């Protein structure tokens, strides 16, 4: 048991580093994107709230995902359903819901799962 944890440690550590790198990258991208959106003279955003069904199970994972979503360009978690399966997300530009949720599922959920499983 202990041996397995020890053997597993380098992989987990690498996954944590990768998750942190994703966090930092998203923060920079989102800050710059939102700033560009603000200084544009004509405000052409189409905001809205959409529901995202997540495949993550535990509270810890969902919390991490919600925090991460708050840092992506133009999205903000507003509410989580009672059972923690559906996140309600306010997005600045909502023209392509499918693309947005595919992006979130593809990059974030995968990075989180690598850490926790």
Q: Which residues bind another protein (CB under 8 A)?
A: 27-28, 30-32, 34-35, 38-39, 43, 45-51, 66-67, 70-71, 73-74, 76-79, 81-82, 88, 90, 92, 94
Q: In angstroms, what is the minimal distance from the CB of 80 to another protein?
A: 9
Residue 101 CB, shortest distance to another protein, in Å, is 12
- The nearest distance, CB 6 to another protein, in angstroms, is 27
Query: Is the CB of 15 or the CB of 86 nearer to another protein?
Result: 86
CA pair distance 91, 45, nearest whole angstrom: 10
- Token output for 95: 């023209």
Q: Which is nearer to another protein, 4 or 82 (CB)?
A: 82
**Cα–Cα distance between 69 and 72 in angstroms, integer?**
5
| CB hemisphere CA count around 76 (13 angstroms) | 9
Longest Cα pair distance anywhere in the chain, in angstroms? 60
Nearer to another protein, 15 or 80 (CB): 80
* Residue 51 or 102 having the CB closest to another protein: 51
Measured from the CB of residue 85, what is the shortest distance to another protein in angstroms? 12
């Amino acid at each position: 048991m202990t041996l397995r944890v020890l053997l597993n440690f380098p992989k987990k550590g690498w996954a944590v580093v990768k998750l942190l790198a994703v966090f930092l990258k998203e923060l920079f991208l989102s800050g710059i994107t939102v700033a560009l959106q603000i200084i544009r003279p004509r405000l052409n955003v189409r905001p809205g709230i959409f529901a995202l069904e997540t495949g993550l199970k535990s509270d810890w994972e969902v919390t991490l995902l919600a925090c991460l979503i708050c840092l992506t360009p133009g999205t903000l978690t507003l509410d989580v359903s009672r059972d923690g399966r559906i996140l309600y997300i306010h997005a600045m530009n909502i023209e392509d819901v499918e693309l947005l949720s595919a992006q979130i599922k593809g990059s974030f959920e995968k990075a989180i799962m690598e850490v926790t499983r």
